[in-house]
Structure 1
Amino acid sequence: MLTLAILGFLHDEPLHGYELKSRITGLTGHIRPVSDGALYPAIARLEKAGLLARRSEPGSGAVPRQVLELTAGGRAELERRLADPAEAEISDQIRFFTVAAFLDRLADPARQAAVLRRRLAFLETPSSFFYDADGRPVTAEQERNPFRRGMLLVARASGAAERAWLSETIEELEGGPAS
């Protein structure tokens, strides 16, 4: 997720590390904050792999600031990751939202729709936070614990909204009814 966010934000424009961290934090920070101990080693790995480059630019003081920019290889890697997200990037909501935040960088609407179809298929698979003794999902109507019932009701509403958005967007991308 961090690599995808780095590549995605640098696709938009060159940034220095602090700006990049601020944007990533804005995307996922309240749920999964990014630390310097995770960000800067990830940047170093991407730079070593030739996916981004660093250049010096005059700073506000005497020290030049280091600006990061995506290379052609970085653009290709971003496109590869967006076209074929890992299963965890489909099944985990925050990771999927990171994919969705940059999915417009994938130029082909059919490929965008294919990613959304994977997420929709995942959401249409029955699941629950809680299961009964026989391994069947517990519904909000069956749950007696009011806090668990609340979790199930919120998840149901959120899932319905996301499925509606996915179906609508797939239809727009494909120019016909979503199935």
Structure 2
Amino acid sequence: MLTLAILGFLAERPLHAYELRRHVSDLIGHNRPVSDGALYPALQRMHRSGLVERRSEPGDSAPPRQILTITDEGNAELLRRLTTPKEAEITDGGSFFTLLAFLSLVPDPGQQAAVLQRRLDFLTRPASFFQRSGAPVRIRDEQDRYRRGMLVMARATQLAERAWLEETLADLGQAS
């Protein structure tokens, strides 16, 4: 998701690496901390792959700053990642939210809708944190108050997300 976040923010505007790190940390850092040891090697790989470019700009009474911009190849990779996400990027909530943060960069509402539909399909499958006899444990059947609390909170979040997905899919259907 780090690559997706980097490309997404650079598609919005060129950024200094420090600004980019702050934006990426704000988006995904609460789930996965973003260190210089992760960001800078990723930027190096992306630069070598032709996805981002670096240029120097004079700093305000400081050494020149390296400004990062996305290339045409980077934009193509960003759109590929947004329109054909891996299954884990659909099923993992943090990964999906990173994807969602940049989905508006996909120009085709039909492609946007296809990604949202995959998430909705995932959310409508029976699931639970806990299983008994191979079946998901229902809230009313969980005796442990803390596990029941997990199930209650997860259910409320899932219902809110499903409602938003259904509303947005309906809107995208009208826009097509």
TM-score by length of 2: 0.97
Q: Look up the match of 2:103.
A: 103
Taking the aligned partners of 2:45 and 2:86, their CA distance within structure 1 comes to 19
Q: Look up the match of 2:145.
A: 146
Taking the aligned partners of 2:169 and 2:109, their CA distance within structure 1 comes to 9
Q: What do you get for the CA RMSD once the two structures are aligned?
A: 0.9
Deviation at 1:139, TM superposition (A): 1.2
Alignment deviations for residues 103-129 of structure 1 (CA, whole Å, 9 cap, x no partner): 000000000000000000011111100
Q: Look up the match of 1:81.
A: 81
Taking the aligned partners of 1:62 and 1:29, their CA distance within structure 2 comes to 28
Percent of residue pairs identical: 58
Alignment deviations for residues 110-162 of structure 1 (CA, whole Å, 9 cap, x no partner): 00000000000011111100011x11111111111110000000000000000
Unmatched tracts of structure 2, length 5 or more:
none
Q: In the alignment, residue 150 of structure 1 is paired with which amino acid?
A: G
Q: Look up the match of 1:166.
A: 165
Q: In the alignment, residue 136 of structure 2 is paired with which amino acid?
A: P
Aligned residues: 175
Q: Look up the match of 1:116.
A: 116
Unmatched tracts of structure 1, length 5 or more:
none
Query: 1:49 aligned to 2:49?
Result: yes
Q: Look up the match of 2:8.
A: 8
Taking the aligned partners of 2:89 and 2:123, their CA distance within structure 1 comes to 13
Higher strand share: 2
The answer to which of 53-62 and 70-79 deviates more is 53-62
Taking the aligned partners of 1:131 and 1:150, their CA distance within structure 2 comes to 16
Runs ≥4 in structure 1, deviation > 3 angstroms?
Answer: none
Taking the aligned partners of 2:146 and 2:32, their CA distance within structure 1 comes to 23
Deviation at 1:7, TM superposition (A): 0.2
